[in-house]
Amino acid sequence: MKLLEERILKDGVVLGANVLKVDNFLNHQIDPVLMEAMGNEFAAYFADKGITKILTVETSGIAPAVFAGLALGVPVVFARKHKSLTLTDNLYSSTVHSYTKNTTNTISISKNYLDETDTVLLIDDFLANGQAAKGLIDICQQASATISGIGIVIEKSFQRGRQELEEQGFDIYSLARIRAFEDGIVKFVEEKGNN
């Protein structure tokens, strides 16, 4: 997605060898115009998959997931990383390690919002090693829900996440695929469709 790639080049900041900071438009401050364009792109790609729900992990996946849900006309459910007074039992849960934050969290979704009748699109902000996607896949398997595909805002193609998920047979659509960080500059995978 050219618009997203341009924004990454303009406002993204490369930190070290493997981290891209995009808090100017995705992870802290959110650009709703860009989110709407991304949601429409996900909706167009997955339009014929019979999706009934979109799942993501709080917090950075919520904005693109909501705009995709709006475009597809389906609800969005986000896995919580922290328990609350209102989310204590009757849960599907999985453990997810965050590469960027170097933390492990238990993510949870209420059984009231996901079951075997659902056809699910998973959306996340980043794909690196695939841990968040694997956690959501685990939750969908616990619920016997069908996974129609995985939408990723930014994929770090030099890490193993895509390969491992494709080996499991999942359809992955990434809006921006990064080939490498070279001298602090983002280099994109150059292929038609970027998926």
| Mean pLDDT, 10 residues at a time, the chain of 195 residues | 97 92 95 98 98 95 98 97 71 87 89 97 96 97 98 97 97 97 94 53
Q: What is the pLDDT of residue 16?
A: 84
The maximal CA–CA distance of the chain, rounded, in angstroms, is 48
* pLDDT value at residue 194: 44
Give the residues across from 122 on adjacent strands: 55, 150
**13, 20 Cβ separation under 8 angstroms:** yes
Q: Give the pTM.
A: 0.93
Per-residue pLDDT at 103: 86
What residues contact residue 177 under an 8 Å CB cut-off, 6+ apart? 155, 157, 188, 189, 191, 194
Contact 122, 136 (CB under 8 A): yes
